[in-house]
């Protein structure tokens, strides 16, 4: 089994060195208090029995109480600092995980459910934050306490030091032997948890269709094996944790018995005082504290170890996209495909696609569903990497262009507009606060959407997935985003398929302005969408059937597009 890479995860503590240093200081002082308390009790007992002479038992009692109160205050402060550092550092980890996942190509996202992604970014990272906030504090404190107890024990009496050292070694050996077994079970538990969340998310996303088509029974039936697998693996993980708990507590009880017996034997032999025998028992139990804390928090360690393993696996994923730092020319971009092949999971979709579209021209792509239309636009926008062949924009291979440059030069409008639970302003700018309201409104007026934004307002709050907006308003919002971006190439995936006639006419006017001085590629399912395009390309079964000037193809009775127009065919 691959070991969790704790070091790379703990690197996120580096920006918070000052807080970590303060935490370490608090732990060291607290441990000093904890080690000193039994020593005061030893002197108190021996003084009370007349073994040693001290000026005042009251002084020892007051000192003991002061140490006890101080230890509690420092323990509370350490808990607060640990939680603070844990959440601050893992928030950075969560942000990096989200950014890394967003940067992966679509082949990963199409094979991974949103529920699984949420579990990776939130569930696994939360487990790590618990590890840092709780377990790490106790681990660091327990380690220092353990070293301190052993040092004081050897200094007090070599026999006490030898006995406690042997006891600690045996218990730690037992814990280490059981650890790998429990971590493996915890990792499987996290994996099935991600699968369960992914399954539930998919069903909830399609609840309307499931209920409308009577698919509830089938969905519940398919839920049973997923939840059963989660239950079985969780039970195995809990059984392993229970075995660990039983073994550790048995070791603790055995240690108390050995300490009592050894103390009595040494006192009867006049080898040590009663206070020292009490100190032996106290330190045996004090050693038990850090080990017991580890065992109590071991479930969090197992979850964190499983989470870190899965985080490491995601970190090792690399996008198939090849990038560089080549610039793209300003203005309209030409598009060129040269013998492009592409497959989804080894299923061929495009076979040797070759075509050119000059800068500033508009191209309409038509064809039956599954023919490869959408795949062409996905390759242009670099959501996928072609299996072979080359794609150029503005005469530059997109393999040599960074994603940031490409996103600036290529705008996309799809049927399913992604909106956020935020204001219209934030949805238009993708939370880019450098954009002024005047700039936004002026851009929308230029696009012919001034009356629309006047009616809606930039401060209007939109619900998740466009709640509060009609399909037409959502589509207008998507167009407005593109206008603000001012790209040289625009990809449209049937943007008017869900619009009413009034909104469609408003969108058509905006579209004409959008087309000006830009290259445009439109995927069309309705032929009337293509009335104003320059060129038509018919795609079928991953190949280009025909490509030419729209007017020429309409006038040619032998062309496939002319047949579609004559039949008034609505392409699905």
Query: Is there a single domain that holds both residue 233 and residue 127?
Result: yes
User: How much is the pTM?
Assistant: 0.63
Instruction: Indicate if 289 and 435 belong to the same structural domain.
Output: no
Examine the pLDDT at 97 and tell me if it is beyond 50. yes
Cα–Cα separations (whole angstroms), residue 88 to 6, 79, 571: 17, 14, 52
Whether residue 368 is found in the same domain as residue 290: no
pLDDT above 60 (res 214)? yes
Q: Which residues does 80 contact at the CB level (< 8 Å), separation at least 6?
A: none
What is the model's pLDDT at position 552? Answer: 92
Q: Which domain holds residue 148?
A: 6-316
Top mean-pLDDT range of 170-179, 255-264, 285-294: 255-264
Q: How many domains does the chain have?
A: 2
Kindly report the CATH number assigned to the domain that includes residue 435: 3.40.50.300
Does 353 map to a domain?
A: no
Q: Which residue from 571, 50, 471 is spatially nearest to 563, judged by alpha carbons?
A: 571
- Domain assignment of residue 381, yes or no: no
Average pLDDT, the chain: 79
**Residue 379 within a domain:** no
Residues 420 and 303 in one domain: no
β-bridge partners, 390: 338
pLDDT of residue 380: 92
For the segment 142-201, what is each residue's pLDDT rounded down to a tens digit?
777 777 777 877 877 777 778 778 877 777 777 666 665 566 666 667 677 777 777 777
* Average of per-residue pLDDT across 112-140: 74
Same domain, 41 and 142: yes
Give yes or no: residues 14 and 161 share one domain: yes
Cβ neighbours of 385 (radius 10 Å): 17
Q: Taking 70 as the threshold, does the pLDDT of residue 499 lie above it?
A: no
Domain containing residue 304: CATH number: 1.20.1560.10
Integer Cα distance of 90 and 9 in angstroms: 9
Looking at mean pLDDT, say which of 231-235, 406-410, 411-415 comes out highest: 406-410
Q: Are residues 289 and 366 located together in one domain of the fold?
A: no
Residues 136 and 267 occupy one common structural domain: yes
């Amino acid at each position: 089994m691959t070991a969790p890479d704790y070091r790379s995860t703990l690197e996120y503590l580096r920006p918070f060195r000052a807080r970590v240093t303060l935490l370490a200081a608090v732990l060291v002082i607290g441990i000093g208090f904890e080690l000193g308390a039994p020593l005061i009790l030893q002197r108190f007992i021996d003084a009370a029995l007349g073994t040693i002479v001290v000026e005042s038992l009251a002084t020892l009692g007051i000192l003991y109480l002061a140490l006890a109160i101080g230890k509690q205050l420092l323990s509370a402060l350490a808990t607060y600092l640990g939680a603070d550092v844990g959440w601050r550092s893992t928030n950075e980890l969560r942000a990096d995980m989200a950014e890394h996942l967003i940067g992966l190509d679509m082949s990963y996202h199409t094979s991974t459910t949103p529920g699984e992604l949420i579990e990776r970014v939130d569930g696994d990272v939360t487990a790590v934050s618990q590890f840092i906030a709780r377990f790490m504090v106790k681990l660091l404190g327990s380690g220092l306490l353990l070293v301190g107890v052993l040092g004081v024990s050897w200094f007090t009496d070599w026999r006490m030091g030898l006995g406690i050292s042997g006891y600690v070694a045996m218990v730690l050996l037992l814990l280490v032997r059981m650890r790998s077994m429990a971590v493996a079970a915890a990792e499987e538990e996290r994996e099935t948890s991600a699968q369960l969340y992914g399954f539930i998310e998919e069903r909830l996303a399609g609840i309307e269709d499931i209920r409308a088509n009577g698919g509830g029974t089938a969905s519940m039936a398919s839920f049973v094996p997923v939840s059963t697998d989660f239950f079985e693996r969780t039970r195995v993980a809990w059984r392993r944790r229970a075995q660990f708990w039983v073994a550790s507590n048995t070791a603790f009880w055995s240690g108390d018995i050995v300490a009592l017996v050894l103390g009595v034997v040494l006192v009867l032999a006049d080898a040590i005082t009663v206070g020292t025998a009490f100190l032996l028992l106290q330190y045996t139990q004090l050693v038990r504290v850090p080990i017991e804390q580890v065992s109590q928090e071991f479930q969090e360690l197992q979850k964190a170890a499983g989470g870190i393993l899965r985080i490491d696996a995601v970190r090792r994923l690399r996008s198939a996209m090849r990038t560089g730092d080549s610039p793209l020319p300003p203005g309209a971009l030409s598009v060129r495909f040269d013998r492009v092949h592409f497959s989804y999971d080894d299923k061929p979709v495009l076979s040797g696609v070759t075509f050119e579209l000059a800068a500033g021209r508009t191209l309409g792509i038509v064809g039956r569903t599954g023919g490869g239309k959408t795949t062409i636009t996905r390759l242009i926008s670099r959501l996928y990497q072609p299996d072979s062949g080359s794609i150029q924009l503005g005469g530059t291979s997109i393999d040599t262009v960074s994603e940031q440059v490409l996103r600036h030069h290529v705008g996309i409008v799809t049927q399913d507009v992604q909106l956020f639970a935020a204001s219209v302003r934030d949805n238009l700018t993708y939370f880019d606060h450098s954009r002024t309201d005047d700039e936004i409104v002026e851009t929308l007026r230029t696009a012919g959407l001034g009356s629309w934004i006047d009616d809606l307002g930039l401060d209007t709050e939109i619900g998740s997935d466009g709640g509060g907006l009609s399909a037409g308003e959502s589509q207008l919002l998507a167009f407005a985003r593109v206008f603000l971006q001012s790209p040289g190439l625009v990809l449209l995936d049937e943007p008017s398929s869900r619009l009413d006639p009034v909104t469609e006419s408003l969108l058509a006017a905006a579209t004409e302005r959008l087309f000006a001085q830009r290259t445009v590629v439109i995927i069309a399912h309705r032929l009337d969408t293509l009335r104003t395009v320059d060129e038509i390309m018919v795609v079928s079964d991953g190949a280009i059937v025909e490509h030419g000037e729209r007017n020429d193809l309409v006038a040619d009775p032998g062309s496939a597009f002319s047949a579609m127009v004559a039949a008034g065919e609505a392409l699905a």
